[in-house]
Amino acid sequence: MRSVWIIFKKEFLGFFSSPLFFLMAFVATVLFSITFSMGIQNFATLLSNGMYQMGANPQQLNIHYAVFLQHLSLVNLLFIFFTPALAMRLLAEEKKNRSFDLLMTSPITSWQIVLSKYLSLITVLFAIEILAFIYIFFAQQMFQFDLLPTILTGTGIFLVGAVYASMSLFASSLTDNPMVAFIIGIVLNLGLWIFGGLADFTDHVAYKKIIEQISVNQHLQLMIDGIFKTSSIVFFISIIFFFCFLCERVIESSRWRST
């Protein structure tokens, strides 16, 4: 376990010594600031003007949906691109620099490598999500509302981010070219949503049901609506485990392939 902690610590601090993380944090903060203040402003206009309210649907009059959901969707969008960029240095770049040989000849298992790198990756995602939540916490100081659904949504987005992390780490294990790892990661992350979207294209009831069950959309939507099901957690954890498992297999098999 000490090994996991050691690699975790090194990778986590490593993120902060790379300009990439600060660039991301900067981009995220700028976008958050713009969309959040615009969201609040629109919401305020809507509430103060009775005319608009008549035609609006109830969701638009709820701060959770009208402002925070929008705000957190942006986090999701950023995660799609940030996660592979962060993950590419974890394995692909190590292979390129040959420093991976050090890990492979150290007394640690492939699982410990995957686990520690994965944890460091989701910790950084967590940090980015905290950035987004700062806005929401400050809003809480000003307006009265129930924070719980928003926190649940945040958890949902974080879990989706954790799924991206497992897929991006897997992508990173496949190649020794960081750029290729980055692109595969984005493709996988987007693929997750495209796959979920397929449900709308089939008319077949059974297929539709199956796709909905195994796509993130459905599970995330439940959490957004404030419904917390253990099956959703099990679902997310299974995908994460699946990709981490694949990643571990790829690392292990690199001993058999030519290095």
Partner 1 sequence: MIQVDNLVKTYGDRFAINNISFKINKGDVVGLLGPNGAGKSTTMKIITGLMSPTSGTAKVCGFDVFENPLEVKKRIGYLPENPPLYLDMTVENYLKYVTELKKVSIKECASNVESALEKTQLKDVRHRIIKNLSKGFKQRVGIAQALVSRPEILILDEPTVGLDPKQVAEIRDLINELKGQHTIILSTHILSEVQAVCNKIIIIHQGKLILDDSIENIQKLRQPQTQLNIKVRLDKDLSFEFKKISGVLSVNQVNPCSYRIQIEDDEVTTEAILEFIIQTKAGLLEMSVNENNLEDVFLSLTYNKSEEAVKI
What are the Cα distances from residue 210, in Å, to 143, 190, 205, 224, 250? 41, 19, 9, 21, 29
Per rule CB under 8 A, is residue 197 in the interface with partner 1?
no
Q: Assign 3-class secondary structure to 24-66.
A: HHHHHHHHHHHHHHHHHHHHHHHHHCHHHHHHCCHHHHCHHHH
HSE-CB of 197 using CA atoms within 13 angstroms:
5
Interface region with partner 1, contact rule CB under 8 A, candidates 107-115, 135-143, 198-206, 209-217: 107-115
CB-nearer residue toward partner 1: 115 or 163: 115
The residue whose two tokens read 């969201």 is: 39
CB-nearer residue toward partner 1: 201 or 256: 256
- With a CB cutoff of 8 Å and minimum separation 6, the contacts of 65 are 59
Instruction: List the one residue from 37, 41, 53, 109 that touches partner 1 (CB under 8 A).
Output: 109
- With a CB cutoff of 8 Å and minimum separation 6, the contacts of 20 are 85, 86, 89
In contact, 53 and 47? CB cutoff 8 Å: yes
DSSP three-state, residue 98:
coil
Per rule CB under 8 A, is residue 44 in the interface with partner 1?
no
In contact, 166 and 247? CB cutoff 8 Å: yes
Per rule CB under 8 A, is residue 141 in the interface with partner 1?
no
CB-nearer residue toward partner 1: 204 or 255: 255
Per rule CB under 8 A, is residue 104 in the interface with partner 1?
yes
CB-nearer residue toward partner 1: 96 or 208: 96
Per rule CB under 8 A, is residue 106 in the interface with partner 1?
yes
CB-nearer residue toward partner 1: 212 or 252: 252
Total number of residues that touch partner 1 (CB under 8 A): 25
Per rule CB under 8 A, is residue 22 in the interface with partner 1?
no
CB-nearer residue toward partner 1: 19 or 58: 19
Q: Which residues bind partner 1 (CB under 8 A)?
A: 2-3, 6-7, 10, 14, 17-18, 97-109, 255-256, 258-259
